[in-house]
C-alpha cells in the first residue's frame, strides 16, 4: 500500500473548493494523490446532486470506479442521500458516504482504510488556507460562505448543503491576500447567496491587520476593490443591494461583470418559484446599470417549463431577454429535483414542451449574443491568457467579461513560444472577429480605451 488517493470532483466551483480543501488535508498528512484512478489505493468521489443530469453523471462515475474494482468514498451533495446511493450500488467497495464540506469526516474515513504513517494528524481547521489549488495558478475561487437559507421551490441546495454559514471576514481577507501573494491575477468571489454574506453572523466584526471590519458583503467588496487583480462577483441574488455595487465597477479592481440568476421574468412564475419578481422594475434596473457602466456584462440563468408556466409567460420571457440584451445567459428546461416543493406544484409542463421552449429561448439568446459580440470587433480589450492549444497553435484568453469554464473565450493565433509566455498574464488584444459565443483577436500595442 502506498497510501495513494485518487480524487474525482464533479459539479460547480463551490464543489471544486471543497475538493481543494480535502486534497490539502490529505497532503499535509502525508498522503499522495494519484494521477489516475488506476494508480489509486482508494478513490474519493466528490459528487453533485443538484439536478437529474448531475445525479446521472455522479452515478456514471461511481459505476466506473466500481468497474475498476476500486474502493471508494462518496462525498459532496449527492452524499446527503446515502440510502439512495446504497439502493443503486449495494457494493462493499463503497467504504463510506458523507455530505458536502465534510472535510474531517472524509479524512477520518480515509485514515481507517489507509492508516497514515504518522501519529500526529492535522485536522481541517489547522490545515493551510489557501492550500492546494485545482485552478490554473493565475486565478482562484474565493468561497465566502457555505449553504443557502433561501427557500426557492425549485432548489435543493438548502437540503443538500444546509443553511448559509458565512466565514468570518478576517479569514476571507487573509485568504485573498495570500492568494494574491502567490501570483493569482483573478479572484472569483463565490457563495450560494453572495450578497447575503454575513447576515447569519449578524455582521459580527473581524479584525484583520489591526483593523476591525464588519462581516458583510459591502465591507468585503470595499477591501477587494483595492487589490491589484481582477475581482469577479458570482451568484448575486437580485437584491436592491446590487445598486451599491455599480460604482465599484467603474474605477476599481472589480471587473464590470455581474452574475445575477434571474430565473424568469413572469411575476406569476417567480411567485411560484419564491423569487423576487417585479419584471418592469428589474428591466429598468438593468438598463440603468448599463447606462452608468456602458461596458457592463451581465450573466444570468433562466428556467423554462416551470410548473404553471404558460405560453404567454414564456413569450414574456423572450420579450424580456430581447429588451435586456444580457451578454451571458444560460437556460435550463425545468426538471424535478429530489426534496423540492416544485415537484408537488400543479400544472406540470410536459417534458417535450419544456425542451421545445428551451430550444426557442436559446435561438433568441444566440441572436442577441451574436449581435453583442459583433459590436466588439475593432475594439482593444484587456484579456487574461488561460492556456495554449499546441495543436491549433492558439492562445486561449478571456476578456474581463468572461468567467472561466462558463463563458466564451478570445482566441489568438500565435507561435508556441509566444503563446506559452503569455499564459497567466494580462495584456491588450484587438478583436478581429466573432461567432455565436467567442471572440477572435490579435496582440495589440496600445492599452484598452
User: If you write DSSP's letter for every residue of 337-363 in order, what string do you get?
Assistant: -TT-GGGG-SSPPPHHHHHHHHHHHHH
Q: In CATH, what class is 380-443?
A: mainly beta
| Domain extent listing, the chain | 4-126, 139-374, 380-443
The model's confidence at residue 448, banded by pLDDT at 50, 70 and 90, is: low
Name the percent of the chain lying above pLDDT 70.
99
Q: 89-125 pLDDT, tens per residue?
A: 999 999 999 999 899 999 999 999 998 877 788 888 8
Q: 300-353 pLDDT, tens per residue?
A: 999 999 999 999 999 999 999 999 999 999 999 998 888 899 999 999 999 999
Superfamily of domain 4-126: Methylthiotransferase, N-terminal domain (3.40.50.12160)
Predicted TM-score (pTM) of the model is: 0.92
Nearest C-alpha neighbor of 228 from the set 175, 282, 176: 176
In degrees, rounded to 5, the angle at the alpha carbon of residue 279 between the alpha carbons of residues 342 and 322 is 105
139-374, CATH topology level: pyruvate-formate lyase- activating enzyme (3.80.30)
The model's confidence at residue 444, banded by pLDDT at 50, 70 and 90, is: very high
Mean pLDDT, the chain, as a whole number?
A: 93
Q: 253-297 pLDDT, tens per residue?
A: 999 999 999 999 999 999 999 998 777 889 999 999 999 999 999
The model's confidence at residue 1, banded by pLDDT at 50, 70 and 90, is: very low
- pLDDT of 82 > 80? The answer is yes
4-126 and 139-374: identical CATH topology: no
What SS3 state is found at 20? helix
**Rounded Cα gap, residues 359 and 365, in angstroms:** 10
What SS3 state is found at 269? helix
Q: 155-173 pLDDT, tens per residue?
A: 988 888 889 999 999 999 9
Give the residues across from 427 on adjacent strands.
Answer: 383
Amino acid at each position: 500500500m502506498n497510501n495513494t488517493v485518487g480524487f474525482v470532483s464533479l459539479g460547480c466551483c463551490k464543489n471544486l473548493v471543497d475538493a481543494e480543501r480535502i486534497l490539502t488535508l490529505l497532503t499535509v498528512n502525508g498522503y499522495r494523490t494519484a494521477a489516475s484512478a488506476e494508480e489509486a489505493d482508494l478513490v474519493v468521489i466528490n459528487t453533485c446532486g443538484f439536478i437529474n443530469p448531475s445525479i446521472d453523471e455522479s452515478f456514471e462515475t461511481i459505476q466506473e470506479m466500481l468497474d475498476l474494482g476500486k474502493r471508494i468514498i462518496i462525498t459532496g451533495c449527492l452524499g446527503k442521500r446515502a440510502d439512495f446511493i446504497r439502493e443503486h450500488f449495494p457494493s462493499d467497495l463503497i467504504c463510506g458516504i458523507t455530505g458536502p464540506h465534510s472535510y474531517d469526516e472524509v479524512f477520518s474515513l480515509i485514515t481507517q482504510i489507509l492508516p497514515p504513517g504518522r501519529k500526529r494528524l492535522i485536522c481541517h481547521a489547522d490545515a493551510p488556507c489557501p492550500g492546494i489549488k485545482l485552478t490554473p495558478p493565475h486565478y482562484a475561487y474565493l468561497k465566502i460562505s457555505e449553504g443557502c437559507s433561501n427557500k426557492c421551490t425549485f432548489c435543493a441546495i438548502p437540503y443538500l448543503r444546509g443553511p448559509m454559514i458565512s466565514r468570518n471576514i478576517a479569514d476571507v481577507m487573509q485568504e485573498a491576500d495570500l492568494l494574491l501573494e502567490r501570483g493569482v491575477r483573478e479572484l472569483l468571489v463565490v457563495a450560494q447567496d453572495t450578497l447575503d454574506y454575513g447576515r447569519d453572523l449578524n455582521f459580527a466584526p473581524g479584525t484583520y491587520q489591526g483593523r476591525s471590519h464588519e462581516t458583510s458583503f459591502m465591507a468585503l467588496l470595499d477591501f477587494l476593490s483595492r487589490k491589484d487583480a481582477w475581482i469577479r462577483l458570482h451568484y448575486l441574488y437580485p437584491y436592491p443591494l446590487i445598486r451599491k455595487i455599480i460604482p465599484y465597477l467603474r474605477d476599481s479592481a472589480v471587473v464590470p461583470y455581474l452574475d445575477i440568476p434571474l430565473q424568469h421574468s413572469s411575476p406569476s412564475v417567480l411567485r411560484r418559484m419564491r423569487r423576487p419578481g417585479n419584471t418592469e422594475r428589474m428591466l429598468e434596473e438593468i438598463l440603468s446599470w448599463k447606462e452608468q457602466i456602458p461596458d457592463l456584462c451581465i450573466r444570468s440563468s433562466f428556467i423554462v417549463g416551470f410548473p404553471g408556466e404558460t405560453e404567454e409567460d414564456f413569450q414574456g420571457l423572450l420579450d424580456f431577454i430581447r429588451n435586456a440584451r444580457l451578454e451571458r445567459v444560460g437556460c435550463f428546461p425545468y426538471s424535478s429535483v429530489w426534496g423540492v416543493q416544485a415537484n408537488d406544484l400543479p400544472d406540470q409542463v410536459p417534458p417535450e414542451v419544456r425542451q421545445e421552449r428551451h430550444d426557442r429561448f436559446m435561438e433568441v439568446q444566440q441572436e442577441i449574443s451574436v449581435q453583442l459580440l459583433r459590436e466588439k470587433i475593432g475594439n482593444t480589450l484587456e484579456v487574461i491568457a488561460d492556456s495554449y492549444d499546441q495543436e491549433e497553435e492558439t492562445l486561449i484568453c478571456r476578456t474581463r467579461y468572461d468567467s472561466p469554464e462558463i463563458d466564451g473565450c478570445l482566441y489568438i493565433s500565435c507561435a508556441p513560444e509566444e503563446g506559452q509566455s503569455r499564459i497567466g498574464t494580462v495584456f491588450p488584444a484587438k478583436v478581429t472577429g466573432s461567432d455565436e459565443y467567442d471572440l477572435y483577436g490579435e496582440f495589440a500595442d496600445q492599452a484598452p480605451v
